[in-house]
Structure 1
């Protein structure tokens, strides 16, 4: 019987085959749908999946395929630092209850006016062939993956976007950590169902 780690290795081999194909890079065969993909993985193997992710990116770059990797958590820290500073945010966290702190954090990150425009700016500066998003679990619950995807779908359409998702995605619903229903999201394709 195949182990979970062997399954992850096979999955990342498949992701490489798909993302390095000209059909994927040219966004062919989408029937008018947006070029958004989700790669679900088991959160219990986060560290091992992270290693495989690094191998994947190195292999793609070795093939001359420029990848822009954006970590949603690192983007959040960048925005907090730029707007109020981490120290100030830590002070707010001490003073407010969890619900009010979450609202203050979401207000600082401002998905529509700051977070998505920062992603768009980074894509414009880097001019990659593929955008890869990670760090989904680290930003939950103050940033939800379906909100990021919904807001990006009109902003980034010229390159394929692949979100690495710690949980399950059946093409209809995102299930974070295999336990928390993040929300329904219908527009992205599951990368493991891609037909080469």
Structure 2
């Protein structure tokens, strides 16, 4: 497995190509990519994502980062009021609390429309999906990816995934097998044209 710096150099070289940005050579498939990484590297990856965004934007490639954790907190605060989630958590057992969060953050009715609004008002040429590990278990990665493909059509999406992705199965943190997901490419395997 590549180290974080090598992986992000490959990401920059891949994402900054016209073929990638124009979503060519995908054989009609949706422009969704998973960038898996070791969960233990999260702090380094967070810094590298920020650096990659800056580097791309400095080269005229605007990026929209959709951080699922920040988006979830934004929605929860709108629905319940600032910080009220902590009071709710004290009142409920774990299962009730998880169900309440899933209800507030309903994927189809709330979360995806919220993300779509961000996409629609963006001029981004690429979307970054981050914070996947932070929202587990109340938001599952395969649910987001399956639903996001309906709204993130104008630009390629790169999902930064703390775990393993072999082209058909997501394994969060390298431990928890999520449902199979076949519609994304592992960006580590993205071939640059010579």
What's the secondary structure of 2:128's corresponding residue? strand
Q: Which runs of 5+ in 2 are unaligned?
A: none
State the match for 2:181 in structure 1: 185
Q: By percentage of residues, which structure has more helix? A: 1
Q: How many residues are matched? A: 192
**What SS does structure 1 have at the residue aligned with 2:167?**
coil
List structure 1 segments (4+ residues) > 6 angstroms apart after TM superposition: none
**Residue 56 in 1 paired to residue 52 in 2?**
yes
Task: Indicate conservation of the 8 Å contact 2:76/2:105, yes or no.
Answer: yes
**1:101 aligned to which of 94, 97, 105:** 97
Q: 1:11 to 1:117 in 2, by over 3 A?
A: same
TM-score between both structures, scaled by the size of structure 1: 0.94
Contact 1:77-1:86 within 8 A present in 2 as well:
no
Give the Å deviation of 1:104. Answer: 0.4
How far is the alpha carbon of 1:93 from its aligned partner? Answer: 1.3
Candidates 173, 189, 194, aligned match of 2:190: 194
- For 1:82 and 1:107, the matched residues in 2 are separated by 14
Partner of 2:140: 144
Q: Write out per-residue CA displacement over residues 66-113 of structure 1, whole angstroms, 9 at most, x where no aligned residue.
A: 000111000000000111124432222112111111000110111111
Q: In 2, are the aligned partners of 1:133 and 1:164 still within 8 Å (CA)?
A: yes
TM-score, normalising length: structure 2: 0.95
Structure 1 gap segments, 5+ residues each: none
Select 2:17's aligned residue among 21, 31, 49. Answer: 21
2:37 pairs with one of 34, 38, 41: 41
Query: What do the CA deviations read for 1:106-154 (whole angstroms, capped 9, x no partner)?
Result: 1011111110011110011112100101000100000011100101111
CA–CA distance in structure 1, aligned partners of residues 106 and 14 of structure 2: 33
Paired residue secondary structure (1:126): coil
